[in-house]
């Protein structure tokens, strides 16, 4: 069996897509026969311009091959991302042109990685397993402000989405909030979420600190989807002397938040460049509150951020500005989370100032959403698509 694995991000890049894909490959390797192979085609680390971990263009690890396609410098904007993906698209076709595969897996926070998988699947007559982590048409509808550009792009994107989804033999949605977007899809659909990475299960985090002022930490992308510039500068001004914000990451709206901090003369917000996971754990160890925020757009009412699982394993108070399915999920599974209205400074301040310390016990959450447990089932659903291999129940469940 030969599996083609398409993921725009993979280790050692630092982002949710990379962590998810890397962990899934590890889980798949545990269930493969010695003569089975996985060919991964990804990119050289490019998630953050300010932190690009070294990597090789080609690697071979037992039955896993990794090809990394070089990327141009980009700031994470729409045009930059399109140009970067074009390089990926060309590179993938060059590598797979004369190759045979038994199954194709493609993951899509970026629709066009999934679309690429669909094109290869149809050309080679091979089944496709799609892992959908975002819905591009929803995002474009909300984020692009230019009405002419939106009018031109949306019909094209929706047509590509339809073609891509209809090409799949199996569809996995990381958020149950996406299911109504694909109600007419008739193939098998599952809902394997991001889950908790083992890194966060292997570390103990102190639950209280003597910090004065208290520390609120956010780590991740600083982009339009997070809308941090709409909430943190004004909140920090009100909370000066009581709280300090650590924002760890990079992204397309970083300059927006820096300008706003300068305009308001804020000195209790630290903008910290992306760090590796070892350093990130040190920041989490010292923090008092973990911060999560999604821009108040309709598109983000369907998503389930991977950051929820990361924070949920740490047993520290979570401040979450979310709506829609993410809010429903946290109300059900993280009842101690402090949830406020996105982009609403008053709501955030009210939730924070009314907070009363209480025991945080999340063993049940960790047990249910451990990535190892989730991916054990997900790998079964992937391997079931290979009819020529007799993966019996015992093998798939081992």
Instruction: Return the higher-pLDDT residue of 198 and 202.
Output: 198
Going from the C-alpha of 269 to that of each of 21, 161, 389, the distances in angstroms are 32, 39, 55
3-state secondary structure at position 43: strand
What per-residue confidence (pLDDT) applies to 75?
Answer: 60
- Enclosing domain of residue 216: 198-366
Do 289 and 316 contact (CB within 8 A), yes or no? yes
What is the Cα–Cα distance from 208 to 198, expressed in whole angstroms? 23
Based on the fold, state whether residues 116 and 229 are members of the same structural domain.
Answer: no
What per-residue confidence (pLDDT) applies to 388?
Answer: 63
Based on the fold, state whether residues 180 and 215 are members of the same structural domain.
Answer: no
- Least Cα distance to 92 among 111, 65, 117 occurs for 117
For 103-143, the pLDDT digits (tens) are 999 998 778 999 999 999 999 999 999 999 999 899 889 88
Based on the fold, state whether residues 57 and 133 are members of the same structural domain.
Answer: yes
Rounded mean pLDDT, 338-346: 97
What is the Cα–Cα distance from 314 to 220, expressed in whole angstroms? 16
Would the pLDDT of 3 be above 50? yes
Residue with tokens 């305009």: 263
pLDDT cut 90: percent of the chain above it: 75
Based on the fold, state whether residues 255 and 293 are members of the same structural domain.
Answer: yes
**26 contact partners, CB below 8 Å, separation of at least 6:** none
For 151-185, the pLDDT digits (tens) are 999 999 999 999 999 999 999 999 999 988 876 66
Going from the C-alpha of 188 to that of each of 127, 129, 170, 261, the distances in angstroms are 13, 10, 5, 48
Based on the fold, state whether residues 387 and 342 are members of the same structural domain.
Answer: no
Based on the fold, state whether residues 55 and 158 are members of the same structural domain.
Answer: yes
What per-residue confidence (pLDDT) applies to 207?
Answer: 67
For 346-390, the pLDDT digits (tens) are 999 999 999 999 888 899 999 999 998 899 999 999 999 986 655
- Least Cα distance to 218 among 183, 270, 278, 156 occurs for 270
Distance of CA 349 to the CA centre of its chain: 27
Phi, psi of 238 (to 5 degrees): -70, -35
Based on the fold, state whether residues 164 and 253 are members of the same structural domain.
Answer: no
In this structure, of 6-10, 46-50, 130-134, the range with the lowest mean pLDDT score is 46-50
Based on the fold, state whether residues 211 and 191 are members of the same structural domain.
Answer: no
Per the prediction, the chain carries an average pLDDT of 91
Alpha-carbon dihedral 22, 25, 26, 28, rounded to 10 degrees: 160
Based on the fold, state whether residues 280 and 191 are members of the same structural domain.
Answer: no
**19 contact partners, CB below 8 Å, separation of at least 6:** 11, 197, 306
What per-residue confidence (pLDDT) applies to 181?
Answer: 86
For 11-31, the pLDDT digits (tens) are 999 888 999 999 999 999 999
What is the Cα–Cα distance from 266 to 291, expressed in whole angstroms? 18
Sign, CA dihedral 252-257-263-265, equals negative
Q: What is the SS3 assignment for 250-291?
A: ECCCHHHHHHHHHHCCCCCEEEECCCCHHHHHHHHHHCCEEE
Instruction: Return the higher-pLDDT residue of 373 and 308.
Output: 308
Based on the fold, state whether residues 224 and 77 are members of the same structural domain.
Answer: no
Number of domains in the chain: 2
3-state secondary structure at position 122: helix
Do 285 and 206 contact (CB within 8 A), yes or no? yes
Based on the fold, state whether residues 25 and 107 are members of the same structural domain.
Answer: yes
What per-residue confidence (pLDDT) applies to 358?
Answer: 86
Based on the fold, state whether residues 249 and 354 are members of the same structural domain.
Answer: yes
Rounded mean pLDDT, 266-279: 94
CATH number where 317 lies: 3.40.50.2000
Rounded mean pLDDT, 266-280: 94
């Amino acid at each position: 069996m030969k599996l083609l694995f398409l993921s725009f991000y993979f280790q050692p890049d630092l982002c949710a897509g990379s962590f998810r894909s890397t962990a899934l490959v590890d889980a798949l390797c545990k269930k493969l026969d010695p003569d089975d192979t996985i060919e991964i085609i990804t990119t050289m680390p490019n998630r953050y311009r300010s932190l690009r971990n070294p990597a090789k263009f080609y690697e071979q690890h037992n039955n896993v091959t990794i090809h990394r396609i070089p990327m141009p410098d980009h700031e994470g904007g729409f045009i930059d991302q399109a140009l970067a993906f074009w390089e990926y698209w060309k590179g993938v076709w060059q590598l797979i042109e004369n190759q045979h595969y038994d199954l194709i897996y493609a993951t899509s926070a970026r629709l066009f990685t999934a679309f690429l998988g669909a094109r290869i699947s149809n050309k080679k007559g091979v089944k496709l397993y799609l892992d959908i982590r975002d819905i591009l048409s929803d995002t474009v509808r909300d984020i692009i402000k230019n009405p002419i550009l939106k009018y031109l792009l949306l019909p094209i994107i929706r047509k590509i989405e339809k073609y891509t989804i209809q090409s799949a033999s199996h569809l996995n949605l990381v958020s149950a909030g996406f299911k109504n977007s694909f109600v007419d899809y008739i193939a098998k659909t599952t809902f394997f979420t991001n889950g908790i990475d083992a890194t966060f299960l292997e570390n103990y985090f102190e639950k209280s600190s003597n910090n004065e002022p208290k520390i609120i930490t956010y780590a991740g992308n600083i982009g339009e989807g997070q809308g941090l510039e709409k909430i943190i500068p004004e909140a920090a001004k009100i909370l000066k002397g009581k709280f300090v914000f650590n924002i760890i990451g990079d992204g397309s709206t970083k300059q927006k938040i820096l300008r706003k901090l300068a305009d308001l003369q804020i000195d209790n917000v630290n903008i910290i460049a992306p760090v590796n996971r070892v350093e990130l754990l040190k920041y989490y160890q010292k923090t008092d509150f973990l911060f999560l925020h999604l821009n108040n757009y309709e598109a983000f009412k369907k998503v389930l951020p991977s950051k929820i699982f990361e924070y949920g394993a740490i047993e520290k108070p979570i401040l979450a500005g979310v709506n829609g399915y993410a809010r429903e999920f946290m109300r059900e599974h993280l009842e101690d989370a402090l949830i406020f209205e996105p982009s609403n400074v008053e709501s955030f301040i009210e939730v924070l100032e009314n907070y009363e310390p209480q025991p945080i016990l999340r063993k049940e959450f960790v047990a249910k959403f451990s990535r190892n447990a989730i991916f054990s089932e997900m790998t079964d659903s992937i391997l079931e698509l290979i009819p020529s291999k007799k993966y019996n129940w015992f093998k798939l469940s081992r």
